[in-house]
Amino acid sequence: MEHTFHSSQWKWIEFNMKDDIHAKELTKKHSTYKKWTDSVKTNKMNLLEMYTGTAEEEIIWGSLVYIQDLHEKQERRVFHFYLTRNELVTADLNLNELDYLDVKAMKEKMHQSETSIEGFFVLIGEIMAYFLKEIDKFEVRLRDLIWDVKERNNTKTLDRTANADHELLIWKNLIIPMIEIRMAVEEAFGDEIMEQPQYKRTKRRITRARELIREYEEEIDALLDLESVVSTHRGNEIMKTLTVITTLFTPVTAFGAIWGMNFKHMPELEWKFGYLLAGVLIVASTFILYAYLKKKGWMGDILSVRSKKSFFK
């Protein structure tokens, strides 16, 4: 499918890479067309190359992942592009898969674009708008997670935090190629491209998305640090509690070991009040040991009642 824009000054050609006939027709125009089709025909990842033979032959081409499932690695959508000063060629691009995209409005913007380069940035800008909408959904989930860390801090919450961190990495991985394309266009076509309004708008969208990701990364890092502090504190409390319990039961263990011996001559066995004396001795020694630990401050707050709003309950 071929579209012409801005009084036929530039055109946009869409086709399916499986259409060998159309691909062969393109290769007759310029040697780089064949290089492009050969390099992207089976490519399922981001790719970017350029050719700057003469002032009239600046060309960039490659592939771009524009949809990536957050849970399945292989569930992605890739389209391929070939860009000159007066022609934009895209292959395997399905705009209907981009939620929120108004194709009619996008083409109106392309009609207002003076060059195919600016038209290409209209397309990139719409993909970035889709990214930003999805990042907004992530923000809602992150806000819920921030409060769940306080209200229901457990392994499940920690797992959700790690998943959120992984999702940010995916969005970052999708945005980095956009940054590279913007820089490559500047390199290939010169500074005058930077003055075009659609280029400026898309550049700001890329910058906004990058800044959002950076801020969310800091929030996730703070959550993970908080989780680490809480987990470390809980581990220390558990070890301290076990140590105190073991220490307090030392008198019971010691006296039980002594009176549990099977020696023939043990005078305590004949005492009338031996059982009572043993009980009093055990309780008294345990209390004295407890008082000593308390005075030294080694009991900490293991017997204190935790607030329901505490991170360390």
| pLDDT at residue 37, as a whole number | 79
In which residue ranges of the chain is pLDDT below 70? Answer: 6-7, 19-30, 54-56, 263, 298-313
How far apart, in Å, are the Cα atoms of 311 and each of 152, 158, 163, 237, 254?
Answer: 9, 13, 21, 13, 38
| pLDDT at residue 146, as a whole number | 86
- Smallest CA-to-CA distance from 11 within 80, 98, 129, 90 is with 90
Average pLDDT, the chain: 83
The DSSP string of 63-124 is: EEEEEE-SS-TT-EEEEEEEE-SSEEEEES--GGGSTT--HHHHHHHHHT-SSHHHHHHHHH
Round to whole Å and give the CA distance between 11 and 8: 7
The DSSP string of 194-220 is: GGSHHHHHHHHHHHHHHHHHHHHHHHH
The DSSP string of 260-283 is: T---S--GGGG-TTHHHHHHHHHH
This prediction's pTM? 0.76
Question: CB 136: neighbour CB atoms within 10 A?
Answer: 10
- Smallest CA-to-CA distance from 13 within 131, 123, 114 is with 123
- Smallest CA-to-CA distance from 3 within 113, 77, 79 is with 113
pLDDT tens digits along 214-262: 999 999 988 888 877 777 777 777 787 778 878 878 888 887 777 777 7
Question: What is the residue whose two structure tokens read 């470390």?
Answer: 232
pLDDT tens digits along 271-292: 777 778 788 888 888 888 778 7
| pLDDT at residue 29, as a whole number | 66
Amino acid code (one letter) for 198: Q
| pLDDT at residue 148, as a whole number | 83
Round to whole Å and give the CA distance between 129 and 296: 62
Tokens of 290: 């407890």
